[in-house]
Amino acid sequence: MPAAQQGPRARYREQTRAEIKEAALRQLADGGVAALALTRIAKDMGLSGPALYRYFASRDDLLNALIRDAYDDAATAMGAAAARSEAAAHGPRERLHALATAYRAWAVGEPHRYLLIQGSPVPGYVAPADTLERARAALGPFLPVFTGGEPGAGVAPVVAQMEAWLTADTAVADWVAAYAVEAAGDPAASARALAGAVLAWAQLHGSVGLEAAGQFTGMGHDGDSLLVAQIAMLADAFALA
């Protein structure tokens, strides 16, 4: 829905919202979530304090908007990587590699945004419903990679659990069906896909999350080779070609 012909007022409003989010991301980049202060943003923009409340109901509201944007951004990055790899007629192993690399590139390119969506949440925090959908869009491209895999003994329990989850939660089943089209109607293949994607998520968060949090600074390896090793293990566990 392009806000183009929404009237000049609405357009200006969207523009200002975007400008606020830009300033917020700058503050986020140096100083973390704690450093994001509405008053400071206002000062940066030449506005005065409460004016921002015309655009965002609260600091949390702004933060949620940033989270949404980050998910969307990550999802499009992953979708693009999937399309590229698809176009290159890669095999599953190579596709997994491409997706993982894209994931890491996005995350370490903007670590503050990665930490925003995958970092420490407030204990009481419950993500808005659409967040779950966006997260699924970001991880969806991993699903079709594993449909043709042959899970080894180590990961078999996870596959079994996923099969149960698929029957219990239709939303998840729909998600899997939407991305892993080959597996549609095949419970075993769907469970494989889901298990692979979840494991990929965990593997990725392992190295990428630590790297984004700066835990690797001063260490004698680069995050890329670590990630490559992790996804190689995962590909082996599913006997990907």
The site for DNA (CB under 7 A) is made up of 7-9, 12-13, 16, 36-40, 42, 46-51, 53-55, 57-60
Closest CB 47 distance from DNA, rounded Å: 4
Determine the interface stretch with a second copy among 9-17, 18-26, 67-75, 219-227 (rule: CB under 8 A): 219-227
Contact flags string 192-211 toward a second copy, x per CB under 8 A: ------xx-xxxxxxx-xx-
Q: Which amino acid is at 206?
A: G
Q: How many C-alpha atoms does 68 have within 13 Å on its Cβ side?
A: 10
**Residues 6+ away with beta carbon under 8 Å from 85:** 94, 95, 98, 99
Q: How far apart are CA 108 and CA 82, in angstroms?
A: 19
Q: How far apart are CA 43 and CA 23, in angstroms?
A: 10
Determine the interface stretch with a second copy among 45-53, 61-69, 162-170, 180-188 (rule: CB under 8 A): 162-170
- Is residue 194 within 8 Å of 161, Cβ to Cβ? no
Nearer to DNA, 64 or 85 (CB): 64
Buried b (16+ CB within 10 A) or exposed e, 220-234: eeebeebbbebbeeb
Closest CB 200 distance from DNA, rounded Å: 36
Interface contacts to a second copy, rule CB under 8 A? 29-35, 112, 115, 118-125, 152-155, 157-158, 161-162, 164-166, 168-169, 172, 198-199, 201-207, 209-210, 213-215, 219-222, 225-226, 228-230, 232-237
